[in-house]
Structure 1
Amino acid sequence: MNIKVKVLSRNPDDYLRETKHDIHRLPRNYDPTLHPFEANREYTRALNATKLDRIFAKPFLGALDGHSDSVQCMSKHPKSLSTLLSGSCDGQVKVWNLATRKCVRTLNAHRGFVRGITVDRNCEYILTVGNDQTIKQWGMEPAASRELEEPVNTIIGKTVFTSIDHHWKDPVYATCGQQVDLWDTSRADPVRSFTWGTDSIQSVKFNPVETNILASCTQDRHIVLYDTREVTPLRKLTLAMRTNTVAWNPMEAFIFTAANEDYQLYTFDMRRLDEAICVHRDHVSAVIDVDYSPTGKEFVTGSFDKSIRIFPTTESRSREVYHTKRMRHVSCVKWSLDNRYILCGSDEMNIRIWKASASEKLGKLDKREESTVEYSNKLREKFAHHPQVRRIARHRHVPRSIYHETKIIKEQLTSRKRKETNRRKNNKPESIPVVPIKKKAIVGEVE
């Protein structure tokens, strides 16, 4: 004979707090008619979350101290998050372990400046170029005797190489100097060379999505695009001032950002170069380097004004600015492949490590902390355009030099706008056309 017995069963997790079991959870009715002050309470919580975000914003994590001269270039390891390579003006290349913040390997690579470093995609060797007109190939694993470590292969060029970048899939790399050369790792002569009547070329970058496309920046203000499958370059864009380097968006194949000498950055679509997609302004001196985040939504810039800034790709103003008292002119920046850290090298021989999100808590978060962070982020996003929340979120303390230069640049822009307005008032209608800011810096385009 079967007897059915009904039993009341209660799970303590449903009505007791997970940390303190003497605190009972209260049931809540989410009917909006019962909560007339819900928006007011959420606004107060958003305001407090914004204030706490600024209070706990401590982005600086540490420095890698070991170089004896200015840091000139850096390179990320394609497969190891904890490995960083850096080259300095005294010809040394150092391999760092970011987890321990120690130098694990030092290479006396070149005589003079190290102009570029790259790692092949199979992580078998390191390629470096320098002022001594050589391309050197080093094994990824250190030799038994580190003091007498020699390169695996050395290629002597006819001119100084100023930059190097490796193809994202094939055993091919590109260098630049007086021209752009395409090399195969198994050959001592370039497979192909590209020229287009330009001055010396200072930077070359492969596209991570359309891997056959690469871009270069020249001393005479050009940005030149190439296709490795073609014999001649594709297109050439001329700007009002020189571009120091470019960075490709890793998520959008045709988008790249150019770091310019006119204190600004320009994001272009390579299919339509007659107008910039966005002009990014906030630096007060020449922008030296730029690197995208792995998500493609933001990029970091390093400038001669001794600061680094983080820009959303679709906005003209930076969301963050990092600086220290000791930091000098920033020469190179990198965004880590896990999207959490930023590295910058500067003239005072240090490599600094920063958090990509200034107030992010490092380490493992429990479920309650994760839900609290997510809820606070949603509230700040919901009330981001309220004046008080926006003012607190945007406020940053910057060095006195940057503060005063910003005021001067603002006065100059106001003066130019006033002058243009007065000229239009005192001339015939439509005799002085209005040029959008996205087209002002573009001098011409050649296909």
Structure 2
Amino acid sequence: MKVKMLSRNPDNYVRETKLDIQRVPRNYDPTLHPFEVPREYVRALNATKLERVFAKPFLASLDGHRDGVNCLAKHPKSLATVLSGACDGEVKIWNLTNRKCIRTIQAHEGFVRGICTRFCGTSFFTTGDDKTVKQWKMDGPGYGEEEEPLHTILGKTVYTGIDHHWKEAIFATCGQQVDIWDEQRTSPICSMTWGFDSISSVKFNPIEVILDMRTNTICWNPMEAFIFTAANEDYNLYTFDMRALDTPVMVHMDHVSAVLDVDFSPTGKEFVSASFDKSIRIFPVARSRSREVYHTKRMQHVICVKWTSDSKYIMCGSDEMNIRLWKANASEKLGVLTSREKAARDYNQKLKEKFKHHPQIKRIARHRHLPKSIYSQIQEQRIMKEARRRKEVNRRRHSKPGSVPVVSEKEKHVVAVVK
């Protein structure tokens, strides 16, 4: 007679402790677990609540400027190095690890309008209201040496922006015109003009889209070279595909004042925007509404914002002479996580994704505390938008069929596309 038996290694059922605690095999038959879904729902609800309880994104402030911070730049090779330019012509180099200023340069007389680093990280360029473009060494001067620029270019007009090519020794400036410069020459190798309006920002990859109101700056998606996002004066941000510029891919609407700066995360899935309404917001690229809004009591009009190259932190510079450092994920725990903490984090994340459309969990996850000024402006704009919608509906109802066409939100703001 043959007897068949199941044989298992006891080592697989004993925990790695001094106590002989036997593991109990689990049967995943759903009929044996009738309360599994309600139990997981409660866990998802608790995980969502705890995420909001531990959402403390503010990390530190870099104090040292004596005037408003007007521009920021990242080091292409070092995550811990950041450059900032102020309205008094002062440029500071910061170490984010120590949260201290490692070097200060009186670069210009008046505003520092733009700052960018060379692709190899050995030097950086600044431009200001004194009609000059200056190149500086990234490393400080030696003992007894004076702080002098490597090169100085004196222009005829004020330059309002500057950007450097990622691989070649070429940089571009903007103002009354866009100039392309070679680092070894004192005159531009190419100049471009469009009408009589001044240009406030320049980035590599040429494009021109005419919107209802002025665009303050643009940022290219690092993972999709043909996608860029524009920060506009009409409180919105527009994501365009340069292969089809007739309509934007997405209109991002949540700010209640002019959007002054925008920067993509290294993953290309999200971007952060800085606004005149004293707040910064994080938008997913494929959604029209923001997932986070950051603000403090002292923070004034936010002029510039940058996402760090490791995709974990956000920096912003504002009018009250302060650079603030934020977590990109507000409830993320800093430091090294144990394997159990990582497993619990991943499990809670999956639960929140599974029950994210449940009304109560959705309400808690979406709730954000807003300053009274922003909240009141949101209510006012909601009333104005509803009034415009009613007016358009009444015009269409009392007009000849087809005379008042229905225009989508994406098509309303694009005036023309010049190719």
Fold match by TM threshold 0.5:
yes
1:439 matched residue in structure 2 = 411
1:271 matched residue in structure 2 = 243
Aligned-pair CA distance for 1:25? 3.6
2:388 is equivalent to residue 422 of structure 1: no
Structure 2 SS opposite 1:30: coil
1:120 matched residue in structure 2 = 118
CA contact (8 A) 1:162 1:175 kept: yes
Aligned length in residues: 413
Match of 1:94 among 92, 95, 114: 92
CA contact (8 A) 1:17 1:24 kept: no
1:152 matched residue in structure 2 = 150
2:375 is equivalent to residue 403 of structure 1: yes
Aligned-pair CA distance for 1:28? 1.0
**Distance (whole Å) between structure 2 residues aligned to residue 22 and residue 311 of structure 1:** 50
**Distance (whole Å) between structure 2 residues aligned to residue 25 and residue 58 of structure 1:** 38
2:166 matched residue in structure 1 = 168
Worse-matched range after superposition: 170-179 or 37-46:
37-46
2:287 is equivalent to residue 315 of structure 1: yes
**Distance (whole Å) between structure 2 residues aligned to residue 442 and residue 379 of structure 1:** 41
Alpha carbons of structure 1 residues 188 and 366: separation in structure 2 relative to 1, 3 Å: same
2:15 matched residue in structure 1 = 16
CA contact (8 A) 1:76 1:84 kept: yes
In the alignment, residue 136 of structure 1 is paired with which amino acid?
Answer: K
2:392 is equivalent to residue 393 of structure 1: no
Match of 2:138 among 137, 140, 144: 140
Aligned-pair CA distance for 1:205? 1.1
**Distance (whole Å) between structure 2 residues aligned to residue 308 and residue 34 of structure 1:** 49
Per-residue Cα deviation, 1:125-176 (whole angstroms, up to 9, x for no partner): 1100000000101011100258831111101011111001111111111111
Aligned-pair CA distance for 1:33? 2.4
Show the 5 A alignment for 1:332-343: 332-343=304-315
Aligned-pair CA distance for 1:24? 4.8
In the alignment, residue 80 of structure 1 is paired with which amino acid?
Answer: S
Show the 5 A alignment for 1:66-105: 66-105=64-103
Structure 2 SS opposite 1:257: strand
In the alignment, residue 250 of structure 1 is paired with which amino acid?
Answer: P
Alpha carbons of structure 1 residues 349 and 147: separation in structure 2 relative to 1, 3 Å: farther
2:3 matched residue in structure 1 = none
In the alignment, residue 32 of structure 2 is paired with which amino acid?
Answer: L
2:209 matched residue in structure 1 = 237
**Distance (whole Å) between structure 2 residues aligned to residue 198 and residue 313 of structure 1:** 33
**Distance (whole Å) between structure 1 residues aligned to residue 19 and residue 304 of structure 2:** 52
1:371 matched residue in structure 2 = 343
Aligned-pair CA distance for 1:384? 1.0
Match of 2:51 among 53, 58, 70: 53
In the alignment, residue 15 of structure 1 is paired with which amino acid?
Answer: V
Structure 2 SS opposite 1:155: strand
Task: State percent identity of aligned pairs.
Answer: 63
CA contact (8 A) 1:17 1:23 kept: no
CA contact (8 A) 1:62 1:354 kept: yes
Aligned-pair CA distance for 1:237? 1.7
**Distance (whole Å) between structure 2 residues aligned to residue 8 and residue 381 of structure 1:** 36
Per-residue Cα deviation, 1:21-51 (whole angstroms, up to 9, x for no partner): 5765432111222212222111111111100
**Distance (whole Å) between structure 2 residues aligned to residue 8 and residue 271 of structure 1:** 61
Per-residue Cα deviation, 1:262-312 (whole angstroms, up to 9, x for no partner): 111111111111111111011010000000000000000000000000000
Structure 2 SS opposite 1:420: helix
Show the 5 A alignment for 1:222-371: 225=207, 236-371=208-343
**Distance (whole Å) between structure 2 residues aligned to residue 140 and residue 171 of structure 1:** 16
1:44 matched residue in structure 2 = 42
Alpha carbons of structure 1 residues 66 and 431: separation in structure 2 relative to 1, 3 Å: same
**Distance (whole Å) between structure 1 residues aligned to residue 82 and residue 229 of structure 2:** 23
CA contact (8 A) 1:130 1:160 kept: yes
CA contact (8 A) 2:74 2:83 kept: yes
In the alignment, residue 328 of structure 1 is paired with which amino acid?
Answer: Q
CA contact (8 A) 2:14 2:20 kept: no
Per-residue Cα deviation, 1:193-213 (whole angstroms, up to 9, x for no partner): 11222411110012xxxxxx2
CA contact (8 A) 1:306 1:329 kept: yes
CA contact (8 A) 2:114 2:160 kept: yes
**Distance (whole Å) between structure 2 residues aligned to residue 250 and residue 430 of structure 1:** 42
CA contact (8 A) 1:137 1:152 kept: yes
Structure 2 SS opposite 1:203: coil
Alpha carbons of structure 1 residues 370 and 433: separation in structure 2 relative to 1, 3 Å: same
In the alignment, residue 417 of structure 1 is paired with which amino acid?
Answer: R
1:31 matched residue in structure 2 = 29
**Distance (whole Å) between structure 2 residues aligned to residue 162 and residue 422 of structure 1:** 45
Alpha carbons of structure 1 residues 22 and 412: separation in structure 2 relative to 1, 3 Å: farther
Alpha carbons of structure 1 residues 189 and 17: separation in structure 2 relative to 1, 3 Å: same
**Distance (whole Å) between structure 2 residues aligned to residue 403 and residue 429 of structure 1:** 39
In the alignment, residue 396 of structure 1 is paired with which amino acid?
Answer: R
Alpha carbons of structure 1 residues 238 and 135: separation in structure 2 relative to 1, 3 Å: same
CA contact (8 A) 1:59 1:357 kept: yes
CA contact (8 A) 2:94 2:100 kept: yes
**Distance (whole Å) between structure 1 residues aligned to residue 219 and residue 309 of structure 2:** 15
Worse-matched range after superposition: 29-38 or 163-172:
29-38
Alpha carbons of structure 1 residues 440 and 147: separation in structure 2 relative to 1, 3 Å: farther
Aligned-pair CA distance for 1:323? 0.2
CA contact (8 A) 2:57 2:329 kept: yes
**Distance (whole Å) between structure 1 residues aligned to residue 264 and residue 81 of structure 2:** 18
Structure 2 SS opposite 1:202: coil
